[in-house]
Structure 1
């Protein structure tokens, strides 16, 4: 009996040891959240590749649509259930920095010798503040014009002319004349014809997508900045310039387009959106972000081209250069493994996978060309986005309390662009409120 008891005790101890060893070997589980469904497959491939290199870590890539994404994250921060790693947007991360929910990865990046110069200029620094680093850049985007070539050719406009458009807030320049020529009423008269009937428009020459909030990324920022305007003195500066007359005159010019009949009114636009009207052949020209290239190439059944934004009164064309970054939730239970995953996401190995998908342009230098080749196989010649990125660009506004500031500015932009109220007084009051919020 004594011998049997000793044998059973030894067996139990061995089983407990084996169980403890198995528990110790259980892989770390990381959650990664993103909002773009088209990017999920490429990041799942990156996760599989990462897991082969890090057998002790498993990554679960999840996707949630933009409308629910940010409220879900906010709930997760409060409930202590946020994902370990998530895709972040420059318009959102200042508030997260202020709320202390992001991990400062600067010490880790220094330890592992991350080279900021590996990324396109400015992308790394966009995610920095006061010596802290909150993300590694994932991709970048610029804005161009998408043009229906059937309509331009029918109007006698040469393809080459689309490459050298100019704009000003007085008469619209050659861009203003272009969209007037492309606008057609039901009698097929363009908007330059004295008999043009703006009440019965068949095709609109141009369409502003939305009000644009504080950024106006595809809506108005490129016009305003090419007119000499700027959002703020520097990233995180409390000195905002939405009260500048150069922004007001830019917005007043855009707001006049529906009144002239060359753009749809809010009622005509409805819930369809500018891209849908373009796809339907109801609009000849729309401003569009690089992230839409693949989707539009698959949808469009008529000849089209992505062409540069018009040159402004200052003699230059310019575009906002945005992009997402991957960040780590400060409450993660696995900061080291989360960092290794973020480091891999920002590495040439993963970004090569991203490039080959042709959905977005990777942040690492030299890989945008790979993405362009992938897009060309879809029939999309989107070289203009890279050319724009290599020219004069500007960053979106990066400021504290951005969510509240965006509400203030979006309300003002709605009233200006869609209700036709004069921009100057509205922008002066909106800027006063925005500055107060930025300094709070």
Structure 2
């Protein structure tokens, strides 16, 4: 899940303060401070820490977990006050700016992490964590793609065979078989479905499709990226490190006009219903009966597997692939996390030992066997697939097939990330609400391009 990034002014302040800071805090001698935000992953990484400490008796790992919003605000404050951890879980939406601000230590310069090989990880994943200088600033941790979670009971009540979800197709003109299904799964307060006469779009009980906000904070990762991607669109002229944006292209604007039009038709949850920018996720919408299905990321598998209804009965959740688009292929954003070392660490070589261990086969297998995420190493990913099938009776291959079928595209990595996000959030919110037309994104596209003209 994404949230609002720092404003440009805050980023500038961070840069000035870190430039004149002292040696930093991090962990005390022999204690490596490690931060992460995902509570679901903490038990697995504690097992990794235990194994690491057995192999390195003079070192101890202290893991701190914070919620998403708190995590980034504490990390920013830590950079400013020289109180950042030795190692932290990094995100592609932030790392480019952290590289620019010189708060990340190149892993190539540290002996334990100098020999990390791109080929040990899912194709293309390790290269994402290299700066424009060619140096590596993050060791691959895990990866994610997008798929459709759905309530099997809702499909059964609608007379829909789950097999139908395997070959859905969409287009920006009439929505294709995907919109047909979304309409059929939508029910108003009188029990009339969205594809039946008399449907009242202003009084909907269950939407066919959940929504997770406007997508301005994360390039529509769990909102519209699967659709724009399968329409053949990409956010920038190149990735990573693009400097020209494509929000003015017809393929993009036509797709968003159709996508947000689903909310206007009553088929998708509205901005007001999900709580605006502080959106309740697809999981909560499906759990409450607000929606029958929704797009979300593979990091949510564990959460969806634990959903219960109002009576406490476990919901029967299924997973389906993203629909096939106008290009004739389905698509998913390919994102990933990594572990980075701060320039403030007083023990960078020891911190690098911990980072190398987390990206190595032993720890990756431990994480794979926990079934929470897909580890960066292919062999460990297979363990996650097996765990979900055996322990949760969940077929998670709609996520992994995107990688094996090469239908993924990379999360856009650019400089000026905080300024870009600050511009995109209000504009996409306005389009979702309906107060601005999709064509207004042409103006923000010009603003994005101007950011790089000013930088030059």
TM-score (norm 2): 0.88
Q: Give secondary structure in 2 for the equivalent of 1:321.
A: strand
1:383 paired with 2:391, answer no
2:145 counterpart (118, 136, 142): 142
Shift of 1:266: 2.1
Deviations 1:292-312 (A, max 9, x none): 101110114233210000000
Shift of 1:131: 1.4
CA distance in 1, matches of 2:430, 2:254: 15
CA distance in 2, matches of 1:96, 1:237: 17
The residue number in structure 2 matching 1:37 is 39
1:293 counterpart (294, 298, 301): 301
Note the aligned Cα RMSD (angstroms).
Answer: 1.6
1:324 paired with 2:337, answer yes
Deviations 1:234-262 (A, max 9, x none): 21121121221211111111221122111
Shift of 1:33: 0.5
Shift of 1:275: 2.1
CA distance in 1, matches of 2:174, 2:197: 17
Deviations 1:372-393 (A, max 9, x none): 2222202322121111222210
Q: Give secondary structure in 2 for the equivalent of 1:92.
A: helix
The residue number in structure 2 matching 1:433 is 447
Structure 1 stretches of 4+ moved >6 Å = none
CA distance in 2, matches of 1:61, 1:437: 37
The residue number in structure 2 matching 1:350 is 363
Bigger CA radius of gyration: 1
Deviations 1:82-138 (A, max 9, x none): 100000000010110110000011244797532210100011000012211101100
Q: Where do 1:41-440 residues align within 5 Å?
A: 41-108=43-110, 112-129=114-131, 130-213=133-216, 214-232=218-236, 233-270=238-275, 272-300=280-308, 301-376=314-389, 377-391=391-405, 392-424=407-439, 426-439=440-453, 440=455
Deviations 1:42-77 (A, max 9, x none): 111111111111122111111111101112111111
Higher alpha-carbon deviation: 374-383 or 163-172: 374-383
Q: Give secondary structure in 2 for the equivalent of 1:140.
A: strand
C-alpha spacing 1:420/1:181, structure 2 compared with 1 (3 Å): farther
Q: Give secondary structure in 1 for the equivalent of 2:233.
A: coil
Q: Give secondary structure in 2 for the equivalent of 1:117.
A: helix
Shift of 1:282: 2.1
Contact 1:27 1:58 in 2 (8 A): no
Q: Give secondary structure in 2 for the equivalent of 1:266.
A: coil
CA distance in 1, matches of 2:280, 2:421: 23
CA distance in 1, matches of 2:452, 2:47: 40
Contact 1:143 1:309 in 2 (8 A): yes
> 5+ unaligned residues in a row in structure 1: which ranges?
1-25
Q: How many residues align?
A: 414
C-alpha spacing 1:112/1:200, structure 2 compared with 1 (3 Å): closer
CA distance in 2, matches of 1:168, 1:365: 33
Shift of 1:80: 1.1
The residue number in structure 2 matching 1:4 is none
The residue number in structure 2 matching 1:15 is none
Contact 2:228 2:255 in 1 (8 A): yes
CA distance in 2, matches of 1:204, 1:234: 35
Contact 1:136 1:326 in 2 (8 A): yes
Contact 1:252 1:417 in 2 (8 A): no
C-alpha spacing 1:434/1:282, structure 2 compared with 1 (3 Å): same
C-alpha spacing 1:200/1:278, structure 2 compared with 1 (3 Å): same
Contact 2:244 2:449 in 1 (8 A): yes
CA distance in 2, matches of 1:244, 1:74: 35
TM-score (norm 1): 0.91
CA distance in 2, matches of 1:50, 1:225: 40
Shift of 1:418: 2.0
CA distance in 1, matches of 2:52, 2:365: 13
